[in-house]
Amino acid sequence: MRTGVNLVDVTRAADQLLADGERPTVEGIRKLLGTGSPGNVNTLLREYYQTLPGRLNLPAPIATAAAELYDKVRSTAMEEVTEQRVDLERQMALEREQLAQDRRSFETEKTNLRSQAAALTNDVERLQDQVRQAATRIASLEKELAGQAERAATAEARAGAADEERERASTRHGAELQRLRDQSEGNERHFLSRIEEHKTQHQRLQAERDRESAMAAKRTAELESSLSEALKVQASLRADQAALQRELIKYRESAQAAEAAVERLHVESAKTEAAHRSALEKVQLELESGRKAIEQHRRERDDAVREAARAEGKHQAFQAQLEEARAEILRLHRSNADAANLDRKDEQRP
């Protein structure tokens, strides 16, 4: 296929379209020629319309009217396009300003929510530290309680050992008494004195046992009191731990609510951007409508030019008819002159 067209090709195709009663357009000329880019054909078509009045040799009034009509249509179209462009630019500037303001508000609110989330996170970490400290304290108290229980067991073991020693001493004393009774009467006083000594020792051991038993009972009571206090502290710490866990749950719920609020803000921002995108698409549609209006004005201008061409054709046909009438009149004048000459010649004959 041949590439590239010139003014001659466009002129020939446009004249053919006018002869066929159609308005020359870019698509019509490209279809008729089978080649040519739309931009190149459009430029050459404008040159064709500029040279059309000279080619048609229109009378001055018709050419002036056509030029004025073309200028008027072009001026009106340009004014409308300018007004629409100014309105659209003003509207787009307002929408851009509103969008910027919405974005600033969104950023401010997002910053505040992030600060709140950071504060909640710090509170959660602080509560977790308190829970860990409480757990450490509970473990320490449990360890101390275990030590106190171990010491109580040791005291009880010592008391049991003292009871066993007393029983062994009693057994030894009984055996010794039996041996002394078996001895001779001559040693009675010696044995009696030994018995007194053993009694005294027994009383002393009994007193020591009683003292150790009292001390063990007192220590046991102290350990039981310490155990009770430790249990109370443990219960209090467990209650504090439960309260801290409840507070932790509340803070987690608050953090989740804050995250949900941030998510809602993201969704609202997306909706706002979609609305602005829709508004921009609407503006683009209005621009397209303006372009179509310009194209309509151009078609009306082309129709006016074609009407002028038709008027020129009619004028040329009328001029041809006038020429034929003039020729007919001249012919009749000649015929009348010839007839008059013949009559004069007939009159002059004898």
Instruction: List Cβ neighbours of 76 (8 Å cut-off, separation of 6 or more).
Output: 297
Phi then psi for residue 24, to 5 deg, are: -65, 125
49 and 92 in a common domain: no
Supply the pTM of this predicted model: 0.28
75 and 159 in a common domain: yes
Mean per-residue pLDDT of the chain: 77
> CA–CA separation, 212 vs 86, rounded Å?
109
* Number of domains making up the chain: 2
Confidence of residue 283 (pLDDT cuts 50, 70, 90): very low
226-246 burial, b at 16+ Cβ within 10 Å, e below that, comes to beeebeeeeeeeeeeeeeeee
The pLDDT, as a whole number, for residue 238 is 82
Domain end marker among 56, 79, 101? 56
The pLDDT, as a whole number, for residue 327 is 74
What's the rounded mean pLDDT across residues 127-138?
82
118 and 11 in a common domain: no
pLDDT tens for 65-79 read 655 655 664 577 578
Residue 3 sits in which domain range? Answer: 1-56
> CA–CA separation, 233 vs 137, rounded Å?
10
What's the rounded mean pLDDT across residues 193-212?
77
Cβ atoms within 10 Å of 321's Cβ, excluding its own: 10
162 and 103 in a common domain: yes
165 and 192 in a common domain: yes
95 and 154 in a common domain: yes
> CA–CA separation, 175 vs 55, rounded Å?
163
294 and 157 in a common domain: yes
**Chain Cα centroid distance, residue 192:** 109
pLDDT tens for 291-324 read 786 478 578 767 756 875 675 676 576 567 767 7
> CA–CA separation, 124 vs 301, rounded Å?
77
154 and 20 in a common domain: no
157 and 24 in a common domain: no
Q: Are 286 and 92 in contact (CB under 8 A)?
A: no
